[in-house]
Structure 1
């Protein structure tokens, strides 16, 4: 199993719903109402979290976007360098 880090964005919900979210994050003012960074031990745990969010929010007004990290280690001119590649994969609610 691998650890999964994701970004949670929520929009179009009332403040009472945001107060009941099972994660800590930041309230926003604009296109999105809430943002949080969340960690999961497995994909199954992330899927269960999405189910909880659907019931709590009563709709699909959120995005849970896993962040993928990878690194390339190589030797350049006798020195080791590490290049970190990061991407975000959006989940369609």
Structure 2
């Protein structure tokens, strides 16, 4: 089972953001960092959350798994695509 998630981090110094084991975008506002991360299982995502708590030294992040599904429907020669099914917030 593949899991795609959005990582949001706030309230940390730039030195800590440089230590994060993922590539993402630095933000300036309510959040300091955003990244898209992929996991092959729930246990891999839980291990990643534990690692983040050690690096960040706190719970100033949200890891939000996104459940996706896609379907194409041919309506009068046009393709219709439905994508986002749900977003589950995993707040530490």
Query: TM-score, normalization: structure 1?
Result: 0.86
- Find the counterpart in structure 1 of residue 37 from structure 2: 38
User: Residues 29-54 of structure 1: CA distance to partner in whole angstroms, max 9, x if unpaired?
Assistant: 00000000000010000000000000
Gaps of 5+ in 1: none
- Residues 58-77 of structure 1: matches in 2 within 5 Å? 58-71=57-70
2: CA distance, partners of 1:14 / 1:85: 33
**What is the aligned partner in structure 1 of residue 56 from structure 2?**
57
Partner SS for 2:6: strand
Deviations 1:4-26 (A, max 9, x none): 00000000001100000000000
Q: State the superposition RMSD in angstroms.
A: 1.9
| DSSP 3-state at the match of 2:63 | strand
Residue aligning to 1:90: 89
Structure 1 pair 24–82 and aligned structure 2 pair: CA distance change class (3 A): closer
Name the count of aligned residue pairs.
92
Note the residue ranges of structure 2 that are not aligned, 5 or more in a row: none
TM-score normalised over the length of structure 2: 0.86
